[in-house]
A and B are shown apart, each in its own frame.
Chain A
C-alpha cells in the first residue's frame, strides 16, 4: 500500500482497520545472493539501495533483535555535513542530499527537518578553526555561514553569552543540517526494501560464518544455516565480534555513548546547538523534549548503559551553554555501543576474504551517514568497486598511513 494523504483519509473512514504490517515476516530461504548482517539503519539502507539502484533483490537482512533496536533507535537524530577533510566531506554531503529527497523516495514520513546546526565558538583560535572548516565546506559546495555574537544572540537570546570562562563569540551554522525522526528512517528503509523483495529476518543472530576455499559460503544463525554468494557486515558496535568469526582483528574499539531526553517544554530551541567548550549538543523534539548528548564514556563497553560520571559531565556542559537548563528535569537516558575507529572515520571496504564486505567504524556519527552509507555500501557489494566518495574509507589506510583524522587525536579511539 502506498502511503498518501488520501490513504490516511480513506483508512480513517474505515476505522483504520485496513492497514497492513509495513513489512513481511518471512522464513529464511536456503540461499541468497547477498546476506546483510545487521538490521539497523545502515544494513536496511544497504538492502534498500541494493534492490533499488543495483537490481539485486534476492537479499536477506539478518537482525539478532528487532529492526531498529540498536543505534538507529538510540541516537540524538542529528544530520549535518559540516566536515573539514576531503576524505569525509563529499561523503557526508551525499548523505545530506539523500536525506533531502528521502521521504519522497521511500514513501515514508521520516520527519526530515532542516532546522540548522549551529556550532558555537568561544575563543579567537576556535573562531579561526571554524572559519577554516566553513571555508572547506564551501569549497566542497556545502552551505556554511559564520555568525558573530550579535547574530547568535538574535537567534538564541537565552544562551550563556557572558560565561566567565567560555563566553560565546559566535558560531558556524549549516542551515541545511537538522534532525530526522530516527525510528522512521529504520522503518522507512525496512518497508521500502521489503516491498522490493528483500527478506527482513528478525530474531536471527549470526553465530558463525562458514567458509570454503577462502570464500564465505553462508552463515550459521539461530534459525539455522543460510547460504549466500556475498556477505555484507554492518553491525556497528559488534563489528569486532563478527570479524572475530573470520579471525580478523579490526582497528576498532566498542564504547558506550549516552543520550538523554528531558520533560516536554514549550518550543524554545528551533535548531541544533553544539557547545564549543565542552561536548554537548541539543535539539528540541516535536513533542517538546530536549534531546541531548555529549562525549562517549571513555571506557570499552558492550553494555548499552553508561555511568553517572558522564551524565554529570554532559549536564554540566549543557548548563554552561544554556543556564536556564538548571531547572529542567531529565526524563530518561540510555546508551548505545559505538564502533570507535582509530582515526574517527568509518570503513566501507572489502576484506581479505573475496566475498566478505565490511561497513564499520562509525564512531558516534553513524546516524547522519545512514543514506550514503547504505548507498555506497550497496555500490561496493554490487560492483566490487568503492563509490567515488568512499574511496579513502579503506580498511588498509591505517597500515598505509593515510588516516582521515578529522579531530586530529591519533590512534586513541576514546578521544575521537
Chain B
C-alpha cells in the first residue's frame, strides 16, 4: 500500500490518516431481486490490478473517498469524493 493518498480536498496525506472500508460497489435498489443483493453483499471480482475502494479520511476532512489503486503493485491512480462519484453516475 502506498504511503500517501491524494485526498481531493486535502492534497497528499499519509495513509495513517485514512480508514479503509472495502470494495466501492454500486448499491442495488432497495426492492431489487435477492440475487442482485446477494451479489452485492457476498460476491467479489477481487481483481489483481485496478480496483476501486472506499476510504474514509478519518483524521482529515472526514469525507468518504473512492480510491483507485492497483492491488498487485499498490500504486494509487487517483482518489475522488464518493459523493462526486454518485453525482457522475446519475
Contacts and interface: CB of A to CB of B under 8 A. Distances in A.
Given A302-B48, A399-B38, A308 B73 contact: no
A251 B44 contact: yes
Interface string B10-24: 000001100010110
Interface stretch (A104-112, A168-176, A292-300): A292-300
Interface string B41-69: 11111111001010000000000000001
Contacts of B45: 240, 244, 249
Tier of interface size on chain B? 20 to 34
A253 B45 CA distance: 8
B3 A300 contact: no
Interface in A222-249: 240-241, 244, 249
Given A299-B1, A398-B38, A399-B38, A250 B73 contact: no
A101 B22 CA distance: 41
Contacts of B47: 240
Interface string A248-279: 01111110000000000000000000000000
Given A240-B45, A251-B44, A398-B42, A301 B1 contact: yes
A411 B25 CA distance: 14
B22 A414 contact: yes
A240 B38 contact: no
B41 A411 contact: yes
B9 interface: no
A253 B1 contact: no
B22 A308 contact: no
Interface string A288-332: 000000000111111100111100100000000000000000000
Grouping DSSP codes into helix (H, G, I), strand (E, B) and loop, the A interface class, with mixed when no group exceeds half, is mixed
Residue among A240, A241, A300, A303 facing the most chain B CB atoms (10 A cut-off) = A300
The interface centre, meaning the residue of B39, B48, B51, B74 with most chain A CB atoms within 10 A of its CB, is: B48
A11 interface: no
A297 B3 CA distance: 13
User: Chain B's interface: helix, strand, loop or mixed, by majority?
Assistant: mixed
Contacts of A301: 1, 71, 74
Interface residues of A, number: 28
A250 B44 contact: yes
Contacts of B22: 253, 300, 412-414
A12 B72 CA distance: 46
A342 interface: yes
A241 B43 contact: no
A299 B20 contact: yes
A308 B43 CA distance: 29
Contacts of A312: 16
A301 B22 CA distance: 11
Contact of A309 (B15, B41, B48, B72): B15
B17 to A, nearest CB: 10
A299 B43 CA distance: 16
Contact of B1 (A252, A306, A414): A306
A302 B1 contact: no
A245 to B, nearest CB: 13
B42 A308 contact: no
B42 A251 contact: yes
Nearest to A307: B1
A81 B60 CA distance: 42
A301 B1 CA distance: 8
Contact of A253 (B3, B23, B38, B74): B23
Nearest to A248: B43
A237 B31 CA distance: 34
Interface of B: 1, 3, 15-16, 20, 22-23, 38-39, 41-48, 51, 53, 69, 71-74
Given A240-B46, A241-B46, A413-B22, 16 more contacts: A249-B39, A249-B44, A253-B22, A253-B23, A253-B46, A254-B46, A254-B48, A254-B71, A297-B1, A298-B20, A299-B53, A300-B22, A301-B74, A307-B1, A414-B20, A414-B22
15 contacts: A240-B45, A240-B47, A250-B43, A251-B43, A252-B44, A253-B46, A254-B71, A297-B1, A302-B48, A302-B72, A303-B74, A312-B16, A398-B42, A413-B22, A414-B20
Interchain residue pairs A-B with the least CB separation, the first 9: A240-B46, A307-B1, A251-B42, A398-B42, A249-B43, A302-B48, A298-B20, A302-B72, A299-B20
